[in-house]
Every structure is written in C-alpha cells, then in structure tokens.
Amino acid sequence: MLDRESILAAADLPVAPVDVPEWGEGEVVYVRSLSAFEAEEKLRDAGKRANFHAWFAALLTCDAAGNRLFSDADAAALGGKSIAVLRRIGDAAQKLNGMTKAEQETAEKNSETIGAGSSSSGSPANSATPTPIECSKG
C-alpha cells in the first residue's frame, strides 16, 4: 500500500522524445512533464503570450534526464526557428501532459460522472483544470 513518503518520492514526471530532423539528421529533443505547480503557475495566461510557440517550446524542451535546455529568456531566440518544429514540440508536450482537447474532454466527462456536477470544496468541479492549448493552429 502506498504511503505519503512513497507517493512524494515517486518519479512521476516522464519525458518523451520528439524527432527534429530540421535541426540535424536523426536528431531528437525531449519534452518534459510539468508538475501541478508548474502547470498552474506557468500556463495561467499562456494563450495571451506573444511568441507563444517559442515560449512553450523553451518551457518544455529538455534533455533525456528532464533538465530544461532553454530558459524563459531563450524564447526570443527560439522565435526565429521553424514554426513547424515548435508546433511539433508543443503538440508532443501537450500529449505528454494530458493537455489535448480530447484528453481535456475525457477528464471533464469523468469528473462529471464521479462528482455528478458537485464539488465538496465549494468551488466548481473543474476550476483547477488547465485549458488545452492549441499548438497546432496558428
């Protein structure tokens, strides 16, 4: 049976490879999972950001160990890179983090079924659910 310590010690933030042949033959970068804190803090106003695709790629592109390759300040430089590559990275990051529209709709249906539309906290059932981000559309 799980206890507090084993849950908090669990390595539950996987990474996923993304092919980027435009940056070199056979080259791969990784995208990382966001913690709940990061998702709520960093993505709060993400859709309103200028240079969004580059910022999102800077936030989530990492090495195989999950270490960020870029800082938020690198988004300006990444803005000069191919939108197709940045969207591919963004799409992979959304899928890994459960942020696609299909996953969002499934989560909402499941929460409605489980909670029958009510919340014991007094706040709306989906108030902490991040909105899916459209990386594939320009």
Residue 65 lies in a domain: yes
69: domain CATH number is: 3.30.2220.20
Distance CA 39, CA 46 (A): 10
Q: Which amino acid belongs to residue 58? A: A
Helix H or strand E encompassing 104:
helix 101-115
Both tokens of 83, joined, read 């939108």
Residue 134 lies in a domain: no
Residue 53 lies in a domain: yes
Residue span of the structural domain in which 91 resides: 12-103
Per-residue pLDDT of the chain (138 residues; tens, 9 = 90+): 999 999 999 999 999 999 999 999 999 999 999 999 999 998 888 878 899 999 999 999 999 999 999 999 999 999 999 999 999 999 999 999 998 887 777 767 776 767 655 444 444 444 444 445 555 544
